[in-house]
Amino acid sequence: MARTTRKRSARSARPRVKAGSTGSPHRTTLLVATRKGAWLFQGDPARRSWRAEGPHFLGHIVNHLVLDPRDGRTLLAAAKTGHLGPTVFRSTDRGRTWKEAARPPAFAKAPDGTGRAVDHSFWLTPAHANEPGVWYAGTSPQGLFRSEDGGVSWEPFSMINDDAQYREWMGTVQDGTPDGPKLHSVIVDPRDPKHLYFGMSGGGVHESKDGGKSFRPLVKGMEVVEGFDPATVTFHDPHCVRMCPTNPDRLYQQNHCGIYRLDRPGDTWVRVGRAMPKTVGDIGFPLVAHPRDAETVWVFPMDGTTVWPRTSPDGKPAVYETRNGGSSWKRLDAGLPRKQAWWTVKRQAMAGDAHDPVGLYFGTTSGELWASRDEGRSWSALARHLPEIYAVETAAFA
């Protein structure tokens, strides 16, 4: 089993923080996963200065790095390299040392050898607060896995991985995103550990009310690419689904075809992105929900016209905010480049903290890490010259 020890790299611009010296839950740590490794950025209590720790796993493709909020100390990293198969690393000492999962997510072996193989674990979600040590993982190609021992061993979860109908909805590798079709946005209802959601790119949004024994599609109201039938689940491409922390009956979704809101028990998504400026559109990858206000979310639009450049529209990046559930949107770009900035933000690469006002953070495809301490009113670059950023999460270590 591979064990890695964090190297005291000279790459960090500032002195490293001794373990335990930033243990206050009031301090925010940013968990940054990139195409070439992972970094932790530790903020001071005012979130004005940040210290970089890393790289961890230099050269590894790290798709997600997540802290277990139930114990405040277990970190899981979904990683692979260009040569080696996928795995999950685990740390319980703030990333000083890492230990590989004994059994990483892997599909069941097919007797005829034609079964699927996990290319990479893409999404990590800690399960319900009353299920300590339980985690979910979404993979590429689309698969759902569960660990009941804090990420040490993983097993295929629910019926979807091998169900014929779900396999049809998942489509083939050719139907997926450029670096592989993905299962993402695994969401656990804080009121009920058996109430689960996930999204698939492609393959739609799905819900379980029985702890994963069964799932059913939840795609009514969602649009698909022109000329295709929205009744066909395969054609749906949710990019990111979020549940409002203070109102678990409200979901927001950034889709390949717009921004949506769903209020349960209703089952029809409403395209609230139609209120976005026409020159910007409502296409993008990430979406962040306010931790205390279900009317407020933030998105990061990208150019989804013509050949889908997937860059900031017109080279002018901006976050857009709604404070009224999507009825209207406001551009937030103070401090961001005014022109000729052609990056974008991937679906896991934007996050908010729990402070008041909320801190917002995003990482770009060009390796820049941006932060706002005032809910997007002003932005400043926290780091530059990182590898392409795949995911940004906020964490409060115990």
Partner 1 sequence: MNVLVPTPLHSYTGRKHVEGNGPTLRAVLEDLDRQFPGIRFRMIDEQDRMRPHIRFFVNGHQVFDLEQPLRATDDLRILQALSGG
Q: Which residues bind partner 1 (CB under 8 A)?
A: 1-4, 81-85, 87, 100-102, 104, 106-110, 113-118
Q: Which is nearer to partner 1, 180 or 190 (CB)?
A: 180
| Residue 339 CB, nearest approach to partner 1 (Å) | 27
Q: How far is the CB of 231 from partner 1 (least distance, A)?
A: 33
Compare residues 107 and 342 and give the one whose CB is closer to partner 1: 107
Q: Closer to partner 1 by CB, 109 or 278: give it.
A: 109
CB 260 within 8 A of CB 242: no
Q: How far is the CB of 11 from partner 1 (least distance, A)?
A: 19
Return the percent helix, strand and coil in the chain, to nearest 5.
5, 40, 55
Measured from the CB of residue 227, what is the shortest distance to partner 1 in angstroms?
Answer: 34
Q: Which is nearer to partner 1, 25 or 85 (CB)?
A: 85
Contacts of 142 (CB under 8 A, 6+ apart): 160, 170, 176, 181, 182, 183, 200, 203
Nearer of residues 153 and 214 to partner 1, judged by Cβ = 153
H helices, E strands: number in the chain = 1, 28
CA distance 39 to 353: 17
How far is 28 from 10, CA to CA, in rounded Å? 23
Q: How far is CA 253 from CA 71, 138, 183, 309, in A?
A: 29, 17, 15, 21
- Could you tell me the smallest distance in angstroms from the CB atom of residue 56 to partner 1? 13
**H or E stretch covering 165:** helix 164-170
